[in-house]
Structure 1
Amino acid sequence: YDQREKAQRDYEWAISGAREEGREEGREEGREEGREEGREEGREEGKLAGQIQLLEQLLGEAPTGDGELLPQGIDALTKRMSDLQKRLRDRES
């Protein structure tokens, strides 16, 4: 009986350890995926900011600084770029 109890406890301990190890591996994978997504999003925001600054220069305006553009996020930057592109097209017509 004692050996069976010990075997059951050992089994439960091993399962518990395996679960914790799996959770930790999952957390690490999630962190790495998050870092990669953040890097990609940062690159995209940087490209948009550069395009906005170029469009502003083409329109004869002072380019907006990175510190003001980058915190706005991709959606706001995309809209701003579209507005500037429209203004440039309208000016050329």
Structure 2
Amino acid sequence: ALKTHNGEFFVIANGLMNRRRDEADELDELLHHICARFPGSWGLLYERSPEMETPPGQGAFRVRVMARGQIHLRLDPFLSPVQPVIED
């Protein structure tokens, strides 16, 4: 969704995918389009998947950090490891 707050534009994306399919590829394309078209954009995208490669693996989150027209993958220091941080 594209939202406006205090004269600024925000793209808000959320979802829960059982398996990585077309929606995930479309989200990748959207993020890269935003970086190319609006290099001053910034944001975070948290991802967690049992199919995620190591690191971080299935018991942790990966964070895509968008800043200055680039996207970097980072390991999450706040919600990972999932057990015991957010799950028993």
Would you say same fold, with TM above 0.5? no
TM-score normalised per structure 1: 0.22
Tell which has more relative contact order, 1 or 2 (C-alpha 8 A, sep 6+).
Answer: 1
Structure number having the greater strand percentage: 2
Larger gyration radius, structure 1 or structure 2: 1
